[in-house]
Amino acid sequence: MASDAHSSLDDPRTHLRAFGGTFVVVALVVLLASVTVSLGYPLLDAAGVGHESALGLALRSAFQFVGFGIAGAGFLLVTDQADLVPVRRPTRQDLTWLVGGFFGLLGLFVAVSGLLSVLGIQGADSAIVAQGSDQPVYFLYLIPVTILLVGPTEELIFRGVVQGLFRRAYGSGFAIAAASAVFAAVHVTSYSGDGLLATLATVLVLGGVLGVVYEKSENLVVPAVIHGLFNTVQFVAVYATTTGLISL
């Protein structure tokens, strides 16, 4: 995919397509995620599911990421750029990148977390962890949501569309860095507390790993599956510690 960087940097339209396109797709994500959540609430009411129950919160997350998917797919279709995002059935080589990328991402997360701990730097408080602190089953409900929706739609937006737009204009290296920065920036509302910058920096680095794997595999399915599995491991770990199954 590195060969896609063919636009002339002397042409202002090159920069407009990259930065303007990124702004548009992120704005669409914010808008459509809010719309799909609002449309989903009547469904919860009809099913008798409380908005703040564990199932209700998980379904609200599902509605939100349906909006992500509509925003990404809609942007590609309306702008006639579906070829920007390569998707295919995984090959044996893709599976190698998938397994290596997953364990690499997990190992890097553990290493960064350990380093921050040694340095005495506290991570930020997670809104998701706070939501499930008194109803841990919420974390289990999030597992199918993250595998089927969060991983695929976030990767569609940030690696597929955003990284693709920047790669087309500036090449793969810049694209990975820029897409990872946007990925970290949109997570700012998911955390709070004194350790916000350290946590966002961690998200930035992890996003970079997903970006590299995507460039190497040239198949969005690979980072989408890695992302979903990585989140699943985190939810299982939080569930286990919250319920006392394991202690840290």
Q: What is the pLDDT of residue 162?
A: 98
In a domain, 247, yes or no: no
Question: Residues 167, 17: contact at Cβ < 8 Å?
Answer: no
Q: What is the pLDDT of residue 149?
A: 98
Q: What is the pLDDT of residue 245?
A: 83
Give the separation between CA 235 and CA 129, rounded to whole angstroms.
Answer: 9
In a domain, 42, yes or no: yes
Judge whether residue 4 has pLDDT over 60.
no
- Quick: pLDDT tens for 62-121: 999 999 999 999 999 999 999 999 999 999 999 999 999 999 999 999 999 999 999 999
Q: What is the pLDDT of residue 244?
A: 86
Question: Residues 103, 22: contact at Cβ < 8 Å?
Answer: no
In terms of residue numbers, what domain contains 130? 2-242
In a domain, 33, yes or no: yes
Judge whether residue 171 has pLDDT over 90.
yes
Q: What is the pLDDT of residue 248?
A: 58
Stretch 22-37: mean pLDDT: 97
In a domain, 228, yes or no: yes
In a domain, 180, yes or no: yes
Stretch 160-188: mean pLDDT: 97
Q: What is the pLDDT of residue 10?
A: 73
Judge whether residue 188 has pLDDT over 80.
yes
Q: Is 112 exposed, middle or buried (0-12, 13-18, 19+ CB in 10 A)?
A: middle
In a domain, 248, yes or no: no
Give the separation between CA 133 and CA 127, rounded to whole angstroms.
Answer: 10
Number of Cβ within 10 Å of residue 132's Cβ equals 23
Judge whether residue 5 has pLDDT over 70.
no
Judge whether residue 7 has pLDDT over 80.
no
When the pLDDT of each residue in the chain is averaged and rounded to a whole number, the result is 94
User: What pTM was computed for the model?
Assistant: 0.94
Q: What is the pLDDT of residue 8?
A: 72
CA distances from 18 to 151, 163, 231 (A): 23, 9, 29
Stretch 213-219: mean pLDDT: 97
Judge whether residue 47 has pLDDT over 70.
yes
Of 4-13, 15-24, 61-70, 87-96, where does mean pLDDT reach its minimum? Answer: 4-13
Stretch 212-240: mean pLDDT: 97
Point out which residues pair with 139 in neighbouring strands. none
In a domain, 84, yes or no: yes
User: Count of domains in the chain?
Assistant: 1
> Rounded to a whole number, what is the distance in angstroms from the first to the last CA of the chain?
42
Give the separation between CA 189 and CA 159, rounded to whole angstroms.
Answer: 20
In a domain, 182, yes or no: yes
β 191-192/125-126 pair status: antiparallel
Q: Is 55 exposed, middle or buried (0-12, 13-18, 19+ CB in 10 A)?
A: middle
Give the separation between CA 160 and CA 179, rounded to whole angstroms.
Answer: 9
DSSP 123: P
Using pLDDT thresholds of 50, 70 and 90, give the confidence band for residue 2: low
Question: Residues 220, 212: contact at Cβ < 8 Å?
Answer: no
